[in-house]
C-alpha cells in the first residue's frame, strides 16, 4: 500500500448514473461512473463538448441529483442530503469557478468576492474580518487596485480571477472549476492555470473540467469522459472503500426561525429595491393610491354617516310614542284578563321600563287641545295645547331651555303647580319681559282651570310635525294634570319613550306593541309611532353607499397589488441568473423566497404608510372643503380606527399576496437552468 492510499478520499463516486428527462424519455448522459479523488489532488476531467462534463460538475457540486449510484464527499453521502445541508456544503466545502465567470454585474469586485459570506442566511452573519480576507485574496490574485471596479470594467482574465477569489473566500477544501479557461485567451488561460497550480501546491484539492488537452496536461491526473463513460488516466483501479451512509450535518447555529431569516434578508431586499429605484417608485404609486383611497373612503363614509345620523337624532328619531285606546268594537265573546282604560303609571309604565332595557327615558303624555292661557289681562287661546308630562320628557323630545329650567322629579312627585312655556306663547303672554316666575292660569277642560308658576321657557323648536306647534305648548307635571282634569282627560292614553341610540327603534316599537296587546288582549288597541323607518332606510342606504365607495377603493388597491406582483415577477425573471448564482453559492431556497417576499412587503409598507398619510390628508381636505359649503359643519380631525386597521391589514395582505407567486417562482428556480440561461 502506497502512502497516498491512506489518505481519506475527498470525493468517492460509485456506480453513478445520470440521465435527463426530455419529452418523457430518459436520455442517458453518464453511465456507471466510478472514481475517487483524494484530498490534495489536482485533477482534470476532460472530454469533448457534450460528453457530460458539466453534468458531472453539477452532480459533484451538489446542484444536481444522480439517477442512481452515490457520491460521497468527505465521507458524507450527497445523494441523501437535505436541502439545507446541500446549501451549507456548496457554501463552505466547495468553491465554484464557472466558465462564464458569473459575477454580479452591478456589484463591485470586492462585493462580488464577498458574495458567499452572505450565505447561508440561516447562519449568523460573518464578522468584519471576512472583508479583510476578501481584500487580501484580491491582492493575492492581482486585483488589489481593482476592488471598486465593476465586472464590465475588467478583462476576461481579471473577471475569472475575481471568480477564483470568490471561490476561495470561505476556505473550501475543494475547488470545482467548469471550463475556467474556456472564455480566455491563451495568455490569460495560462495565468489562471498557474494560479490553480499554486493553490494546489498550498494543499487545496482542485478539479478542473475542460475539453482542452493542453489544460488537462497541466494537471496531475486526467479523468476522461467519453460517451458517458469515465476512464482514469492513472489507470489505477478505483479503490473501493466502505462507503458510509453518514449525511452532512449543518452547524447547530443554523436558524429555523422565519423572523430571524426575515431580518437577515431585509438588507438584501432593501438593496435590490434601491438599485431599481425608479421602477420601485412607479410600482409603489399604485399602492399609495389604493391605500389612500381605502383610507379616505372609509373615513369619509363613516364621517358622513355619523353626521347625518346625528342630524336625525336631533330631530328625535329615537323617540317613540305609544298610544292605546279602549276597543269599542270588541265583541262580548272577547274575554280578557284586564280591561284597558288608559295606561297606569305604577303597573304599565313601571313594567315597561323594567322589561325593556333599551328604554332610556319614558314620560306619560296627557294632553288636551283648545286650552286658554291667561296672564294679567292677556289671554291666548289660539293653538295653545296643554301637556302633562314628567321630568324626562324634555330629553325625549329634545327640548332645550331658553330661560329658567325644566320640570324636576320633585315637581312631578309633589304635584307642584309649575309650568314651562313654549317660546312663542311666552312672548305672546309676556311681551317684552321675562315670563319666568310669573303666574298664569290655564284651562284644562272647558270648566276647569289651574293656576301655575312659569319656571322656564323652551327654546324655539323645529318639529317635523308642524301641526304639533311645539312653540305654543304648556308643559306641566302630569300629576297636576291628572289631579285637576276631568275623568276622561286624566286618563293616560299616551306615553313617550326614547330608546338608547344603539338600539333598533323599529324593533323596540314592535316589542312594546305586542307586549300591550298580550297584556290587554282585545280590550285595547295599541299603536306605536316612530320616525324610525326613515332613519333605518337612510342608515341602510348610507351603509350601502359607504360600502360601495370602499369596494371601489379596494378595486384600485387590487390594481396596485397586481402592479407589484407583476414587477416582482419581472424582477425575478430578470434576475434568474443572479438567483441561480446565489443558490449555487449557498443561499437556501427558503431564504431566496423570503427575500422576494420581503421586497414586496417593504414596497407595500412604504407605499402603504405614504398612502395612509395621503388618505388622511385627503379626508381632512375634503372635510375642510365641506365646512365651506355646509353650514354648521365643523372642521375636525377624523381618525377612524376602522379605516386605519383596514389600511394596515390591506398593506400586509397585498404585500404578502403580491409577493407570493414571484417568491415561489424564485424558490423553485433550478440552479443549473439559471446558470445555463444566457
Q: Which residues bind ligand ADP (CB under 6 A)?
A: 20, 22, 27, 29, 47, 49-55
Cβ closer to Mg ion: 178 or 348? 178
Q: Which does 55 bind (CB under 5 to 8 A by kind): ligand ADP, Mg ion, none?
A: ligand ADP
> Residues in the chain, how many?
678
Distance in Å, CB of 226 to ligand ADP, minimum: 10
Q: What is the DSSP letter of 397?
A: T
Select 54 or 272, whichever has its Cβ closest to Mg ion: 54
Q: Which is nearer to ligand ADP, 175 or 322 (CB)?
A: 175
47 vs 286, beta carbon nearer ligand ADP: 47
Select from 53-61, 326-334, 473-481, 636-644 the region that touches Mg ion (CB under 5 A): 53-61
Minimum distance between the CB of residue 28 and ligand ADP, rounded to whole angstroms? 10
CB of 183 to Mg ion, least distance (A): 12
> Cell numbers of 653, please?
395582505
Q: Which three cell numbers stand for residue 122?
A: 440561516
What is the C-alpha to C-alpha distance for residues 261 and 392, in angstroms, rounded to an integer? Answer: 65
Minimum Å distance from CB 56 to ligand ADP?
A: 7
Query: Which partner, ligand ADP, Mg ion, none, binds residue 267 by CB below 5 to 8 Å per kind?
Result: none
Which of 51, 188 has the CB closer to ligand ADP?
A: 51
For ligand ADP, the closer of residues 136 and 214 by Cβ is: 214
- Work out how close the CB of 30 gets to ligand ADP at its nearest, in angstroms, rounded to a whole number: 9
**What angle is formed at CA 265 by the lines to CA 264 and CA 269, rounded to 5 degrees?**
140
Can you tell me which of 12, 46, 51, 54 binds Mg ion, judged by CB under 5 A?
Answer: 54
Quote the distance between the C-alpha of residue 545 and its chain's center. 24
Q: Is 636 helix (H, G, I), strand (E, B) or coil?
A: coil
The CB-of-658 to ligand ADP minimum distance in angstroms stands at: 31
Q: Contact region for Mg ion (CB under 5 A) — 47-55, 140-148, 611-619, 644-652?
A: 47-55
- Which residue, 51 or 443, has its beta carbon nearer to ligand ADP? 51
Query: In whole angstroms, how close is the CB of 91 to ligand ADP at the nearest point?
Result: 23
Residue ranges of E strands in 500-628: 524-530
Q: Kindly write down the DSSP assignment for every residue of 270-304, as one continuous string.
A: HHHHHHTHHHHHHHHHHHHHHHHHHHHHHHHHHHH
With CB under 5 to 8 Å by kind, the binding choice for 245 among ligand ADP, Mg ion, none is none
388 binds, among Mg ion, ligand ADP, none (CB under 5 to 8 A by kind): none
Q: How far is the CB of 587 from ligand ADP (least distance, A)?
A: 21
Could you tell me which residues are beta bridge partners of residue 498? Answer: 319, 361
Q: Which does 29 bind (CB under 5 to 8 A by kind): ligand ADP, Mg ion, none?
A: ligand ADP
Neighbours of 254 (CB within 10 A): 16
Q: Which stretch binds Mg ion (CB under 5 A): 46-54, 297-305, 338-346, 472-480?
A: 46-54
52 binds, options Mg ion, ligand ADP, none, Cβ within 5 to 8 A by partner type: ligand ADP
Q: State the minimum distance, in angstroms, from the CB of residue 27 to ligand ADP.
A: 6
Report in angstroms how near the CB of residue 179 gets to Mg ion at its nearest. 6
Tell me: does residue 416 bind Mg ion (CB under 5 A).
no
Q: How far is the CB of 73 from ligand ADP (least distance, A)?
A: 20
Closest Cα partner for 315 from 456, 505, 473?
505
Q: By C-beta, is 54 or 160 nearer to Mg ion?
A: 54
Q: Which is nearer to ligand ADP, 26 or 236 (CB)?
A: 26
**Binds 22, which of ligand ADP, Mg ion, none (CB < 5 to 8 A, cut-off by type)?**
ligand ADP
**Count residues contacting Mg ion (CB under 5 A)?**
1
Q: Give the list of residues 6+ apart from residue 240 with CB closer than 8 angstroms, or none.
A: none
Nearest to 444 by CA among 478, 489, 411, 407: 489
Torsion over CA: 666, 669, 675, 678 (sign) = negative
Asked whether the beta carbons of 44 and 216 are under 8 A apart, the reply is yes
Min dist. Cβ of residue 54 to Mg ion (A): 3
**Least separation in angstroms between CB 614 and ligand ADP:** 49
The rounded distance, in Å, linking the Cα atoms of 128 and 125 is 10
CB proximity list for 179: less than 8 A, separation 6 or greater: 53, 54, 99, 209, 210, 211
**Per-residue x/- marks for Mg ion, 593-612, CB under 5 A?**
--------------------
91 contact, one of ligand ADP, Mg ion, none, CB 5-8 Å limit per kind = none
CA distance 451 to 417: 7
Cα 461 to Cα 426: distance, rounded to the nearest angstrom = 13
**Considering beta carbons, is residue 222 or 297 the nearer one to ligand ADP?**
222
Q: Which is nearer to Mg ion, 54 or 475 (CB)?
A: 54
Of the pair 29, 87, the CB lying nearest ligand ADP is at 29
Compute the distance between CA of residue 175 and CA of residue 181 in angstroms, rounded to an integer: 14
**Cell numbers found for residue 513:** 306593541
Q: Which segments within 52-167 are labelled E, that is strand? A: 68-73, 76-77, 94-97
Write down the least CB distance from residue 183 to ligand ADP, Å.
14
Q: How many CA atoms lie within 13 A of 266 on its CB side?
A: 10
Query: In terms of C-beta distances under 8 Å and separation of at least 24 residues, what long-range contacts does 609-612 make, across chains too?
Result: 609/651, 610/284, 610/288, 610/291, 611/287, 611/288, 611/289, 611/290, 611/291, 611/292, 611/294, 611/295, 611/647, 611/651, 612/291, 612/292, 612/295, 612/644, 612/647, 612/648
- Give me the residue whose beta carbon is nearest to ligand ADP: 54
For 64, how many CA atoms within 13 A lie in the half-sphere containing its CB? 23
Nearest to 444 by CA among 387, 526, 492: 387
Instruction: Choose between 65 and 212: whose C-beta lies nearer to Mg ion.
Output: 212
Q: Which does 577 bind (CB under 5 to 8 A by kind): ligand ADP, Mg ion, none?
A: none
Q: Shortest CA distance to 314 belongs to which of 540, 632, 529? A: 632
51 binds, among ligand ADP, Mg ion, none (CB under 5 to 8 A by kind): ligand ADP
Q: Which is nearer to ligand ADP, 29 or 174 (CB)?
A: 29
With CB under 5 to 8 Å by kind, the binding choice for 20 among Mg ion, ligand ADP, none is ligand ADP
Binding footprint of Mg ion on the chain (CB under 5 A): 54
Amino acid at each position: 500500500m502506497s502512502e497516498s492510499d491512506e489518505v481519506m478520499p475527498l470525493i468517492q463516486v460509485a456506480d453513478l448514473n445520470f440521465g435527463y428527462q426530455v419529452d418523457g424519455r430518459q436520455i442517458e448522459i453518464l453511465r456507471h461512473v466510478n472514481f475517487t479523488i483524494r484530498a490534495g489532488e489536482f485533477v482534470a476531467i476532460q472530454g469533448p463538448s457534450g460528453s457530460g462534463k458539466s453534468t458531472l460538475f453539477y452532480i459533484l457540486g451538489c446542484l444536481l441529483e444522480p439517477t442512481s449510484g452515490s457520491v460521497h464527499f468527505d465521507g458524507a453521502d450527497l445523494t441523501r442530503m437535505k436541502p439545507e445541508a446541500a446549501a451549507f456544503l456548496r457554501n463552505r466545502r466547495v468553491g465554484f469557478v464557472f466558465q462564464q465567470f458569473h459575477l454580479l454585474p452591478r456589484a463591485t469586485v470586492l462585493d462580488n468576492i464577498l458574495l458567499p459570506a452572505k450565505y447561508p442566511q440561516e447562519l449568523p452573519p460573518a464578522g468584519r474580518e471576512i472583508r479583510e480576507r476578501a481584500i487580501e485574496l484580491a491582492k493575492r490574485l492581482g486585483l488589489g487596485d481593482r476592488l471598486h471596479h465593476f465586472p464590465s470594467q475588467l478583462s476576461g482574465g481579471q473577471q475569472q480571477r475575481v471568480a477564483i477569489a470568490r471561490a476561495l473566500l470561505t476556505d473550501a477544501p475543494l475547488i470545482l472549476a467548469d471550463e475556467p479557461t474556456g472564455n480566455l485567451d491563451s495568455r490569460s488561460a495560462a495565468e489562471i492555470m498557474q494560479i490553480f497550480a499554486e493553490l494546489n501546491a498550498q494543499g487545496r484539492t482542485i478539479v478542473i473540467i475542460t475539453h482542452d488537452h493542453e489544460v488537462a496536461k497541466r494537471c496531475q491526473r486526467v479523468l476522461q469522459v467519453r460517451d458517458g463513460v469515465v476512464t482514469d488516466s492513472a489507470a489505477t483501479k478505483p479503490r473501493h472503500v466502505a462507503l458510509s451512509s453518514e449525511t452532512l450535518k449543518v452547524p447547530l447555529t443554523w436558524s429555523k426561525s422565519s423572523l430571524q431569516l426575515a431580518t437577515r434578508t431585509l438588507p438584501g431586499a432593501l438593496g435590490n429595491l434601491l438599485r431599481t429605484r425608479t421602477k420601485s417608485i412607479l410600482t409603489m404609486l399604485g399602492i399609495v393610491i389604493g391605500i389612500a383611497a381605502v383610507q379616505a373612503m372609509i373615513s369619509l363614509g363613516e364621517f358622513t354617516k355619523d353626521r347625518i345620523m346625528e342630524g336625525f337624532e336631533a330631530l328625535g328619531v329615537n323617540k317613540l310614542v305609544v298610544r292605546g285606546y279602549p276597543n269599542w268594537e270588541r265583541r262580548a265573546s272577547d274575554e280578557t284578563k284586564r280591561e284597558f282604560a288608559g295606561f297606569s303609571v305604577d303597573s304599565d309604565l313601571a313594567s315597561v321600563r323594567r322589561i325593556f332595557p333599551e328604554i332610556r327615558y319614558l314620560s306619560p303624555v296627557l294632553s288636551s287641545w283648545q286650552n286658554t292661557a291667561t296672564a294679567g289681562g292677556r289671554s291666548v287661546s289660539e293653538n295653545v295645547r296643554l301637556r302633562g308630562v314628567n321630568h324626562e320628557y324634555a330629553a325625549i323630545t329634545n327640548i332645550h331651555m331658553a330661560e329658567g329650567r325644566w320640570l324636576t322629579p320633585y315637581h312631578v312627585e309633589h304635584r307642584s303647580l309649575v309650568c314651562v312655556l313654549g317660546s312663542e306663547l311666552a312672548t305672546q303672554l309676556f311681551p317684552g319681559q321675562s315670563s319666568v316666575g310669573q303666574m298664569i292660569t290655564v284651562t284644562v277642560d272647558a270648566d276647569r282651570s289651574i293656576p301655575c308658576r312659569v319656571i322656564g321657557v323652551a327654546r324655539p323648536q323645529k318639529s317635523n310635525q308642524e301641526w304639533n306647534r311645539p312653540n305654543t305648548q304648556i308643559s306641566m307635571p302630569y300629576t297636576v294634570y291628572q289631579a285637576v282634569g276631568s275623568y276622561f282627560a286624566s286618563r293616560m292614553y299616551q306615553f313617550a319613550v326614547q330608546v338608547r341610540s344603539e338600539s333598533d327603534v323599529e324593533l323596540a316599537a314592535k316589542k312594546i306593541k305586542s307586549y300591550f296587546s298580550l297584556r290587554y288582549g282585545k280590550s285595547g288597541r295599541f299603536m306605536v309611532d316612530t320616525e324610525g323607518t326613515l332613519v333605518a332606510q337612510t342608515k341602510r342606504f348610507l351603509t350601502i353607499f359607504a360600502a360601495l365607495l370602499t369596494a371601489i377603493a379596494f378595486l384600485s388597491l387590487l390594481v396596485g397589488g397586481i402592479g407589484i406582483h407583476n414587477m416582482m415577477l419581472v424582477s425575478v425573471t430578470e434576475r434568474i441568473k443572479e438567483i441561480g448564482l446565489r443558490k449555487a453559492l449557498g443561499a437556501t431556497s427558503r431564504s431566496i423566497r423570503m427575500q422576494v417576499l420581503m421586497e414586496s412587503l417593504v414596497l407595500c409598507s412604504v407605499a402603504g404608510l405614504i398612502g395612509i398619510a395621503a388618505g388622511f390628508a385627503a379626508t381632512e381636505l375634503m372635510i375642510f372643503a365641506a365646512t365651506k359649503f355646509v353650514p354648521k359643519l365643523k372642521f375636525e380631525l377624523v381618525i377612524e380606527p376602522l379605516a386605519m386597521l383596514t389600511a394596515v391589514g390591506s398593506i400586509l395582505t397585498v404585500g404578502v399576496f403580491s409577493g407570493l407567486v414571484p417568491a415561489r417562482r424564485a424558490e423553485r428556480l433550478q440552479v443549473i437552468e439559471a446558470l445555463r440561461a444566457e
